[in-house]
A = this chain, B = another copy of it.
Amino acid sequence: MGVATAEFDFEIPTGFRWAGTAVGIAKPGKLDLGIMSADSPCSAAGLFTRNSFRAAPVLVSIETIARTNGRVGGVVVNSGCANAATGEEGLRNARAMAVAASIAAQSRMGAREEFLVCQTGVIGVQIPAHKVLPGIEQAAGRLAATRDAFLDFARAIMTTDTREKIAWSSFESGGRTARILACAKGSGMMHPRMATMLSFTITDVAIEPDLLQACFARVINKSINCVTIDGDTSTNDSALCLANGASGVEIRRGSEALALFEQALLRVMQSIARQLARDGEGATKLIEVQVRGAQSEGAARTVALAVANSCLVKTAIYGRDANWGRIVCAVGNSGCPVEPARVTVRLGPLTLFRLGAPLPLDEDAALKVLSEEFVPIEIDLGDGDALATVWTCDLTEKYIEINGSYRT
C-alpha cells in the first residue's frame, strides 16, 4: 500500500487504459477531460451524493448501472463544470457524453459497453458540448495502459485540489496477484453522505456486481464517508469502483479472497480519505478525530463529525492554539447525549480534560503537537465500547480566499 509520491511508483492493474486532455471548459490549457476504458466488461459499483439536487451525471450514471445490471466499459469525466441544477438540457448533455465516450473508446476494440459519466466544477452552468464532444473523440484516440496516462486522468479531474490523490494496494490469492488502484479529487464542499468528491477505483479482480457493490459500500463508509472539509455535500459526489477480472483472482461470497480484497480496498480508500482531508481547500494540517467509549459506532461518528465540522476547533488548530474548550463545546453540540463528568479529551499524547474537569495545560508541549502537520484528537465518552474516526483539516484564510473568488 502506498501514498503517491513524486516518484509515483504504483503498478497499474491490467486491462485498463486512460487518457486526459485539455478541452478548455474552465481554464485554457488545464487538463479537464478524462476517459478510463476497460478492455473487457467490468463489474461496476457506485455510491452517489444524497443531496436532493443530484447533478445530471449522477442521475445518468445511476440509471446506467441499473439498466446494465452493473456491467460497464468505462467512465468519462470532466472538471470545470458540474452540470448540476441544469434541468433537461443538462441531462441531455450528460447522456451525450456517456454515449460519445462509449462509442469513441470501445469501438476501437470492437466492443460497445456503456460508459458512466462524472462531472465536477461550477454548479448551475451548462457544459459546453461543442468543446467536450470533440474532446472525447480526441482523448479516446490517446488511451494508453501506462502510469503516465493514469496520471493524466487523475489530473484531469482536479479542481481546487493542489495535488493528485492516488493510492494503491495488491494482494496474493491462489498464487496470483490482484491489484487495486484509486484516484480522487475533492478539496472543498466536502462532507459525508458523500463529500464533493469524485473517486475512481479500479481493480483486476473478478467479482459479481452485487458483491462488489456491498463490499465497496462497507469500505466507503469507513473511509471517504469519514472525511469532512466544510460540512457541505455537493450535488455531484460519486465514488465508482470497476473490476475487470483480468488478474484471474476470483472473489466469491464468504471466501478468504473476499476478506483479503476488502482489507486491501479499505487500505486504499482510507489512504485516499486522508489525502482528501489533507488537501482540503487552504488546509495546512490533517486533523484526525477519534471518538472512543461511545454506546454505538453511529454515536461515536456523530460526535466526531461535530468536532471535525466546528469552524472554531479548526481555526484554533490552524492558530496552534490548544483551546480544547472548543472541542468540549463541539462534543456537547453533537446532539448525542453526553455525560460531561465521563468525558476525557486528549491532544496527541496530552490529556487536556479528564472526567469533566480541566487539567493543567503544558503550553509548550501543546504547541509542539499543534505544530505538526498531522494533529490527532481523541475523545473518550466513557459510555461504551464503540469508536469512530473522522478526518478533516484546519480552516484558514486561504479557504476564504479560494471560495470568495472561485467562480470569477
Contact = CB atoms under 8 A, between A and B. Distances in A.
Interface in A376-399: 395-397, 399
Contact of A407 (B84, B321, B357): B321
A175 interface: no
A328 interface: yes
A232 B316 contact: no
Interface stretch (A104-112, A214-222, A245-253, A330-338): A330-338
B53 A331 contact: yes
Interface stretch (A20-28, A119-127, A138-146, A267-275): A119-127
Given A86-B358, A329-B123, A316 B403 contact: yes
Nearest to A395: B400
Interface stretch (A71-79, A151-159, A306-314): A306-314
Contacts of A89: 357
A127 B333 CA distance: 23
Given A311-B230, A325-B123, A407-B323, A52 B332 contact: yes
Interface residues of A, number: 66
**Which of A54, A333, A338 counts the most B-chain CB atoms under 10 A from its CB?**
A333
A52 B338 contact: yes
B332 A51 contact: yes
A311 B397 contact: no
Nearest to A405: B319
Interface string A348-370: 00001100111000000000000
B358 A85 contact: yes
A232 B329 contact: yes
Given A53-B329, A397-B397, A125 B358 contact: yes
Contacts of A347: none
Given A85-B357, A234-B329, 6 more contacts: A51-B333, A53-B340, A84-B329, A85-B329, A87-B358, A315-B404
Interface of A: 51-54, 82, 84-89, 122-126, 188-189, 191, 230-235, 309-312, 315-316, 318-319, 321, 323-326, 328-334, 337-340, 352-353, 356-358, 395-397, 399-401, 403-408
23 contacts: A52-B338, A53-B331, A53-B340, A84-B325, A85-B325, A85-B328, A85-B340, A87-B358, A122-B325, A124-B323, A188-B312, A189-B312, A189-B329, A191-B333, A230-B311, A232-B311, A232-B312, A234-B329, A311-B311, A316-B404, A319-B404, A319-B405, A321-B404
